[in-house]
């Protein structure tokens, strides 16, 4: 019984991997100008990978730290990053 259930469980996980779950394209850039060229109609934000937040230009933590990158705001939102409400100047 146990030998049959393990392959069945593995097969169902593999097949259900395509059941509505998709990876969201996320393109990080080192420089703000690169990100702006990638998404000319969108706002460029700074994503902090450790905190799971993004910062708008003018916020205190914008472009600070080594654990972040410039990305398009829509890509950041679709990837699950949330806007930081703190640090407005």
Does 55 have pLDDT greater than 90?
A: yes
CB-neighbour burial class of residue 8 (10 A; exposed 0-12, middle 13-18, buried 19+): exposed
C-alpha–C-alpha distance, residues 23 and 76, integer Å: 13
Higher pLDDT: 78 or 26? It is 78
Residue 1 inside a domain? The answer is: no
Q: Give the domain CATH number at 32.
A: 3.40.10
Residue 36 inside a domain? The answer is: yes
Dihedral Cα 31, 33, 35, 40, nearest 10 deg: 170
Residue 84 inside a domain? The answer is: yes
Domain residues for the domain of 72 are 24-89
In tens, the pLDDT along 56-87 reads 999 989 999 889 999 999 999 999 999 998 76
Q: Give how many domains the chain has, as a whole number.
A: 1
Residue 42 inside a domain? The answer is: yes
Residue 18 inside a domain? The answer is: no
- State the pTM of this model: 0.69
């Amino acid at each position: 019984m146990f030998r049959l259930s393990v392959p069945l469980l593995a097969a169902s996980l593999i097949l259900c991997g395509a059941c509505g779950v998709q990876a969201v394209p996320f393109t990080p850039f080192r420089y703000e100008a690169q990100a702006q060229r990638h998404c000319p109609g969108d706002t460029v934000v700074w994503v902090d990978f450790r905190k799971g937040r993004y910062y708008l230009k003018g916020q205190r933590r914008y472009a600070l730290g080594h654990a972040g990158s410039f990305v398009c705001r829509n890509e950041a939102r679709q990837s699950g990053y949330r806007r930081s409400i703190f640090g407005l100047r």
